[in-house]
Chain A
Amino acid sequence: MSPEAPELDLERKLDQLHPAAFGWALACCAGDRAAAEDALQASYLKILDGRARFDGRATFRTWLFSVVRYTAAGQRRRAALRRWLPLAVLGATPDGRPDTATEVARADGTRRLTAALETLPRRQREVLHLVFYQDLTIAEAAEVAGVSLGTARTHYERGKAALRKVLKEELE
C-alpha cells in the first residue's frame, strides 16, 4: 500500500459525508456560512494531518461530526475573545449569526425553521439537528454532542416542544 493510500481513503470517506458535514458545520455556526466553511476546512485539516484520529470506537460519521463540533466551538471561543479584545487587526470576526445571503437564498419554510431554531438554546438546537436533519438516533446525537443519553433525550423533547410552539405561534 502506498503512503498516500490512507489519505485517499480518508478523502473518499469525507467525500461521502461532505454535504452532511457542511450542514452540521452550518448548524454549529448558527447559519454563518463563512464560519461554517472555516470550521469545515479546519476540521478536514486536523483529520488529514492526523491531529484528529479515528479510533473506530464510534462510526466515522459521528466521529467526523464530533470533530466539526469541537472545531466550531474553538472558533466560537476565539471569535468571542476577539470581540472582547480590540483585535480587529486579526480580521473579520464571525458574530455567530446567520449571514444575510444564506438567509435570503432560503425558501420561506426553511427560513421560518432556521429562525425558530435560533430561538432555542444551543444544545437543543444541536440535538434536533442531529436527529431530524442528519437522521441520527438520540444515542448517536448524544455521542456527537458530548452529553449523556438522558441529557440528549431531555434536550430532544424540550427542543421539539419549543420548536413546535414557535412554529405554531408564527403561523397564527
Chain B
Amino acid sequence: MTEHHEHDLGERFHALRREDAAAAPALRATLAAARVRRAAPPRARALGLATAAIIIASVAVAVRVIRRGMPSDLGAVRLRTPTDFLLALPNEDLLRTVPELGRVTITLDRRTP
C-alpha cells in the first residue's frame, strides 16, 4: 500500500469525522438524557425480569406436568412391542414357576409338534 493510498483513506475518514461532528448531539442534551435515564425507574429491566420469571415458571410447570404422567420407577417398566408374540414360548409358564413335588400338572399344548 502506498503512502498516497493511506493519505486518501485518512482524508475519507476525516470527512466522515467532520460530518459526524456536525451531526453530534450537544453534550448537555446527552448528559440531560443520561440523568433522566438515571432518575427514571428501569421499566425495561423490570419488564425483562418479569418476562424471564414467567418463562422460568412456565418451564417448571411444564416439566412437573410431563413428569406426573411418567412412572416413577423406570425399573418396573416393561416395554411392549408389536413383535412380542414372536418371543412367546409354548408352556412358558413352566419356565417361570417352580412346580411343587406331587402336584405337577403339565398341560401340553397339543398344537405343538
**Contact flag A105-B33 (CB < 8 Å), given A129-B13, A164-B5:** no
**Interface membership of A56, Cβ < 8 A:** no
With A23-B17, A164-B5: A91-B44 Cβ-Cβ less than 8 Å: yes
Partner of A132, one of B10, B24, B44, B47: B10
Complex interface bits, B1-20 against A, C-beta within 8 A gives 1, otherwise 0:
10001100110111111011
| A133 pairs with B33, CB closer than 8 A | no
Let me know if A164 and B1 touch, CB within 8 A: yes
A107 touches B12 (CB 8 A): no
Are A113 and B30 in contact, with the CB atoms below 8 A?
no
Judging by beta carbons under 8 Å apart, are A161 and B9 in contact?
Answer: no
Q: Are B47 and A45 in contact (CB under 8 A)?
A: no
Bound complex: CA A48 to CA B30 (Å): 12
Contact B9 A164 (CB under 8 A): yes
Q: Determine chain B's interface SS by DSSP, over half rule.
A: helix
Tally A-B pairs: CB < 8 A: 93
Of residues 117 through 172 on chain A, the ones whose CB sits less than 8 Å from some CB of chain B are 128-129, 132-133, 160-161, 163-164, 167
From the candidates A41, A85, A87, name the one contacting B30 in the complex (CB within 8 A): A41
Q: Are B34 and A22 in contact (CB under 8 A)?
A: no
Identify 25 residue pairs between A and B in the complex whose beta-carbon atoms are under 8 Å apart, listed by A's number: A11-B31, A14-B27, A22-B24, A23-B17, A23-B20, A23-B24, A37-B25, A40-B30, A41-B34, A44-B30, A45-B35, A87-B48, A90-B48, A105-B19, A106-B19, A107-B15, A107-B19, A109-B15, A113-B12, A113-B13, A113-B16, A132-B12, A160-B1, A164-B1, A164-B9
* Chain A interface (Cβ < 8 Å from any Cβ of B): 11, 14-15, 18-20, 22-23, 26, 33, 37, 40-42, 44-45, 48-49, 85, 87, 89-91, 102, 105-107, 109-110, 113-114, 128-129, 132-133, 160-161, 163-164, 167
